[in-house]
Structure 1
Amino acid sequence: MKAAVLRELGGALGIEDLAIASPRADEVLVRVTAVGLCHSDLHAMQGVPPLPLPMVPGHEVAGVVEQVGENVRRVKPGDSVVVLLTFHCGHCDQCESGHSNRCFPPEARRAATEPHRLCKGAEPIAQFANIGGFAEQVLVHESGCVAITPDIAPDKACLIGCGVTTGMGAAIRSAAVRPGQSVAVIGCGGVGLSAINGAAIAGAGRIVAIDVLPAKLAMAREFGATDTIDASAGGVVEQVLELTRGRGVDHAIECIGRKDTIEAGCAMLGKGGMATIVGVTPPEMRIELSPLHLMLGERRVQGSFMGGVRTMVDIPRYAELYLQGRLHLDQLVSQRLTLDQVNQGFAAMKQGGLARSVIVFDA
């Protein structure tokens, strides 16, 4: 099969012919129909965090099941599926308490003593996020595969595999936005727009979209933002406080992963407010907060990983919301590419202005 392989950190992806193994117990072989380009892929390609090379990036996958190994019960050949990086064991304390997205089980990958899933001759090839989605096929643990209706086109369905679930879940699950509450979303890329969409679905009374690009702020209105702030002029916290008559917002959802934007999100909270950090940061990053500011107003700060997704429950629900016209997937797709154009897609991502680029494979 053909796949985009990274051999040097910060370098371009090369299209290579790789061999993919047959599924073993608990594994699923999926023919990829579409895969989104996510900022997490770009971070990994730049060495944040450090990962083994050579590697196939990509993780926001939609496809069709081709083969299943022993013990697979979730999906069967012919099923349309979304693949998520939240693989889980199903029996640890996190899984048992309804937080399977926190599991990170060794079962997600093959043991070092087993044959590699991907190789080129005798050379093993790593899978980013245990998926390696920039390829014609992926071989993954079944816990990351969720069957969805085939009524959703692959270029839309793949977005549910990461960006949409991360943003929607940050608003609906992690922050648990309630009707009438005020929400500020910092960063209006694919994840931020989905957070705005989620806040609107949850019934937020005021949704403030914050970005430096006018085009993204215009899109934010389409996704449910009631107000927009151009952050390029500075004074974002002051503008949020002015909009809310000095009260601050009930929720700030940070979708960029920068020190200044995380700190700004905490500073714009009203009493009892919650800041939810979604953006991916470098491991060494530290933020500065006033404990007094948090304590006196009973403000809180939390992280959100993959929107707290409960895969078998949330993914079908998000698919249904799309079919109802309430979840805006169509507007997220900025451009469709072939696998050969993957580097072009990442170049566009670095320039900003796009929501999501999607690689689409022939049916």
Structure 2
Amino acid sequence: MSRAEPTGDAAMSGAEPTGGPGVVAQPAAGPAVGAEPAGGPVTVRALVARGRGAELRVERVRLPAPGPGEVRVTIRAAGVCHSDLSMVNGTLAATFPLVLGHEATGVVAEAGAGTRLPIGTPVVLNWAPACRACWWCRHDEPWLCAANTTPTVARGETEDGIPLHLTLGLGALAEAVVVPESAVVPIPAGLPAEQAALLGCAVLTGVGAVGNTARVAPGESVAVIGLGGVGLAVLAAARRAGATTILAVDVAEAKRELALAAGATDFLLSDDRLSKEVRARTEGRGVDHAFECVGRAATIRAAWRLTRRGGAVTVVGMGAKDDMVSLGALDIFHSARTLRSSVYGSSDPDREVPVLATELADGTLDLRVLVSGTIGLDEAATAFDRLARGEGARWVVTLD
């Protein structure tokens, strides 16, 4: 997910290889978080990519003290999103060395001047904080904020003194982050960390794509292509919206059980019979809404073909710059379909994350189906290998 675009997962099996990053963990010995004097820089352990396709390593990195308007957050849990993989494999133009991760929850541990959140406040990270002053923010489109245009931001340094860059300005696969206070959203205490972490990307992206971008209505039909964390969140959101036909599509039969648990009424393999199978379940029309959660031209075209005349295709997946989509001019006119993208679920995290967090706290929202497993930071690189193979939904790194 570039900072100009929220990433859905390219979660179908057959996702592009990463060059085989494995984990090479540095020993945990050495300065711990907070070992330096209060108000000074801190040394933390983080998952670092030194270059495109490079082996991922857990390294000690140095973060500056929070400046005015900034906070240091001790990370409790962080999800591994396909956007992180896109940084490593070259789909997104990243600057290295790079701390990976942007989907996380934690606790405010230190605050700079002019901040409002008390120490100890539990928060979810927001990878696209709004400036509230640009044209898009003033027109109630903070997800398109002009301040969020680069996939990596320079901050801190490696242990050997090389300037460090952070994925989407966060670098959340680490023991701690130092970020603007606008990049954190307070949440209730006591939430399961492995689920709360997903509110900041997969869940907000999926829920927003259904409710804000596509505005799925009760009784409508939906197809979701690509069943990673975001695709599964779209399925769950479609069920909550009252869609009656919810078709989950993936190339991997192994995703069937996950899809049905998330809310799909049926699972379909992405093969030569897909369009026929979809029309057989929609009285020959095609679905009202198709959500593309892969980020490839081929699956965008597939979503177009699955959608009825006058229906809507919503692209949630983040794709490569040179992967071009071709549609016939007559088909565009005659079909009267709408094709649009959903950037960060067309959402305002400051407003919508607290709502989702409250639902998670009271049991209205259950995200357990999205969590394929939890691992430690030293095993984090293995989650990238699983992601590249299209295995599971979300793997979450826990640091408690």
TM-score category, normalised to shorter length: over 0.9
Partner residue, 1:86: 128
Establish whether residue 28 from structure 1 lines up as the match of residue 71 from structure 2. yes
Letter in 1 for 2:65: S
Partner residue, 1:124: 163
Letter in 2 for 1:314: E
Residues 110, 117 of structure 1: 8 Å contact kept: no
Higher helix share: 1
Counterparts of 2:233 and 2:267, CA distance in 1: 15
TM-score normalised according to structure 2 size: 0.85
Residues 294, 317 of structure 2: 8 Å contact kept: yes
Partner residue, 1:11: 54
Name the CA shift for 1:137/1:226 in 2 (closer, same or farther; >3 Å).
Answer: same
Name the CA shift for 1:111/1:129 in 2 (closer, same or farther; >3 Å).
Answer: closer
Q: Secondary structure at the match of 2:168?
A: helix
Partner residue, 1:289: 327
Counterparts of 1:110 and 1:177, CA distance in 2: 33
Establish whether residue 144 from structure 1 lines up as the match of residue 186 from structure 2. no
Counterparts of 1:214 and 1:36, CA distance in 2: 24
Counterparts of 1:88 and 1:282, CA distance in 2: 25
Partner residue, 1:220: 259
Establish whether residue 267 from structure 1 lines up as the match of residue 305 from structure 2. yes
Alignment of 1:146-295 (within 5 A): 146-231=185-270, 233-295=271-333
Partner residue, 1:39: 82
Counterparts of 1:238 and 1:71, CA distance in 2: 59
Counterparts of 1:215 and 1:351, CA distance in 2: 12
Q: Which stretch shows the higher mean deviation, 36-45 or 293-302?
A: 293-302
Establish whether residue 307 from structure 1 lines up as the match of residue 345 from structure 2. yes
Shift of 1:324: 4.2
Name the CA shift for 1:222/1:90 in 2 (closer, same or farther; >3 Å).
Answer: same
Counterparts of 2:66 and 2:196, CA distance in 1: 23
Partner residue, 1:63: 106
**CA offsets 1:224-247 (integer angstroms, 9 cap, x no match):** 11122111x422122111211111
Q: Secondary structure at the match of 1:264?
A: helix
Partner residue, 1:358: 396
Residues 117, 139 of structure 1: 8 Å contact kept: no
Query: What 5-or-longer segments of structure 1 have no aligned partner?
Result: none
**CA offsets 1:304-354 (integer angstroms, 9 cap, x no match):** 111112111110111223234343311211111111101211112222231
Residues 185, 208 of structure 1: 8 Å contact kept: yes
Residues 94, 152 of structure 2: 8 Å contact kept: no
Counterparts of 1:36 and 1:344, CA distance in 2: 13
Residues 204, 347 of structure 2: 8 Å contact kept: yes
Letter in 1 for 2:351: V
Residues 95, 152 of structure 2: 8 Å contact kept: no
Counterparts of 2:127 and 2:157, CA distance in 1: 17
Shift of 1:61: 1.0
Query: What 5-or-longer segments of structure 2 have no aligned partner?
Result: 1-43
**CA offsets 1:66-90 (integer angstroms, 9 cap, x no match):** 11222323x3311110002112211
Counterparts of 1:96 and 1:139, CA distance in 2: 27
TM-score normalised according to structure 1 size: 0.93
Residues 287, 307 of structure 2: 8 Å contact kept: yes
Name the CA shift for 1:70/1:291 in 2 (closer, same or farther; >3 Å).
Answer: farther
Structure ranking higher on relative contact order (CA contacts 8 Å, 6+ apart): 2
State, as a whole percentage, how many aligned pairs show the same letter: 36
Name the CA shift for 1:326/1:215 in 2 (closer, same or farther; >3 Å).
Answer: farther
Counterparts of 1:334 and 1:110, CA distance in 2: 27
**CA offsets 1:230-274 (integer angstroms, 9 cap, x no match):** 11x422122111211111111000001121111011111112211
Establish whether residue 48 from structure 1 lines up as the match of residue 86 from structure 2. no
Name the CA shift for 1:110/1:243 in 2 (closer, same or farther; >3 Å).
Answer: closer
Q: Secondary structure at the match of 1:72?
A: coil
Residues 337, 360 of structure 1: 8 Å contact kept: yes
